[in-house]
Amino acid sequence: MRSIADVEAELAAHSPWLDSGPARVEAGVAAVLREGEQDLELLFIRRAEHEDDPWSGDLAFPGGRVDAEDDGPRSAAVRETLEELSLDLRPARYLGRLSDVLGSAESIRVSAFVYAIEGDPELVPNYEVREAFWSPLAHCNDPSRQQWRDFRYRGRASRLPAIRLLDDERAPLLWGITYKFLDHFMQAIGRPIPNMPWEEINAE
């Protein structure tokens, strides 16, 4: 198991790509890390099902759109994590930033910020979140959990790589923007996801 200090050092040596172009929508998400019993673990949410939400029911990092009250995407990630899970990241250990991800089906730029916390804080999902769970990093790059699936987003169908993080076969797979962030993170810390040819994929 690599420690939180190892991750912090790897991210400090990492130079993320930060987009400076125009985007109609900006958002920020938090990749929250903790030391589990056997491996480092990342926090994910399973979004609640809403008819008007294009990401309804998907797995994701906590976070959301930048509002007028926010001082940029990092502020939005912290605020949204507090709103969605009652988890306050302001006193948490900030480890670094990942490369920005752009949406291809719409003009959106998402930025991700990595934090570390200790222990097992109580997570209280709000109406936007169906559940929250911790996933060991070993699940993220386990070849047996990698799949290719057909997804439809805003009327556009694409065949994309995905990961089964939850053991429940009925649970959704991790894909799309969050998968890209996970790929960036795992590469940065030296535990890359197998078979992740995003440079060959033009659809989101």
pTM over the 0.95 mark? no
Q: Does residue 200 sit within a domain?
A: no
What torsion, rounded to 10 degrees, do the Cα atoms 128, 203, 109, 117 define?
50
Residue 146's identity, in one-letter code, is Q
Domain span at residue 123 reads 4-137
**Within a domain: 165:** no
pLDDT at residue 197 greater than cutoff 60: no
Residue 85 DSSP code? H
- In tens, the pLDDT along 94-141 reads 999 999 999 866 689 999 999 999 999 999 999 999 999 999 999 999
Kindly state whether residue 192 falls inside one of the protein's structural domains: no
- Looking at the structure of the chain, the number of domains it has is 1
Query: Residue 86 and residue 164: Cα distance in Å, rounded?
Result: 26
Judged against a pLDDT cut of 70, whether residue 154 lies above it is answered with no
Residue 35 lies in a domain: yes
Beta partners for residue 62, in sequence order: none
Instruction: Tell me the CATH number at 29.
Output: 3.90.79.10
Cα-only R_g, the chain: 16
Whether 86 is covered by a domain: the verdict is yes
**Which residue is associated with the tokens 């920020």?**
28
**Tens digit of each residue's pLDDT (9 = 90 or more) over 46-63:** 999 877 666 678 999 999
Report H helices in the chain: 4-12, 73-85, 137-140, 176-188
Is 176 within the bounds of a domain? no
**Residue 76 counted as domain residue:** yes
Let me know if residue 182 belongs to a domain. no
Rounded Cα gap, residues 52 and 54, in angstroms: 6
